[in-house]
Amino acid sequence: MEMHKAGCILQKGGECVMFGFGEKEKKSLWIMSGDVVEIIKSDYDNDMAFTLIEFLYNGQKYRMGSCVLPANEEEKKENIYFVFQDEVYKDFGEFQAKCCIDGKKISDLEMPIEIIKAGIIDGEALLRTPWGDTRLAQKALKK
């Protein structure tokens, strides 16, 4: 065996084996969707957009949240829009009523959702994990 790059040992056949610098296991945040909707509404009531999140439910990927549109506008109720998948809603009540999975409103899903990405702008996550928002972490379910 010989040292190759930082943290890499070359074994027979030139195979590189990492030690000590392996990627961190991505941890999921499991939370009830009703809790996320509650945070979105609370932020809106305080003239703030929540963020956009991607989550898994029954093996399907979804996107929801709220954001300011256009992006360079002031963060206040008049500029906050709600997002579910590719649909955008100006009214929170309409967002809550029309956002359904398997015929159930998002806020009424019985199983938890698995948040896999948060803080999304132009398809890219601004936060590596959504746990930076402690309100999500505080309501997370123990798995």
**pLDDT higher than threshold 50 for residue 20:** no
pLDDT at 133: 55
What is the C-alpha to C-alpha distance for residues 142 and 132, in angstroms, rounded to an integer? 17
Domain ranges in the chain are 29-139
C-beta separation of 5 from 78 below 8 A = no
Write the CA distances from 139 to 6, 10, 32, 75, integer angstroms.
39, 45, 8, 25
User: How many angstroms separate the CA atoms of 116 and 112, rounded?
Assistant: 13
Given a cut of 50, whether residue 8 has pLDDT beyond it is no
Structure confidence at residue 18 (pLDDT): 45
Residue among 103, 89, 98, 95 nearest 58 (CA): 103
**What is the arithmetic mean of pLDDT over 12-29?**
51
Q: How confident is the model at residue 9 (pLDDT cuts 50, 70, 90)?
A: very low
pLDDT in tens, 71-99: 889 999 999 999 999 999 999 999 999 99
- Cα–Cα distance measured from residue 49 to residue 39, given in angstroms and rounded to the nearest whole number: 10
Q: Provide the 3-class DSSP secondary structure of residue 105.
A: strand
Kindly report, residue by residue over 56-75, the tens digit of the pLDDT.
999 999 999 999 998 889 99
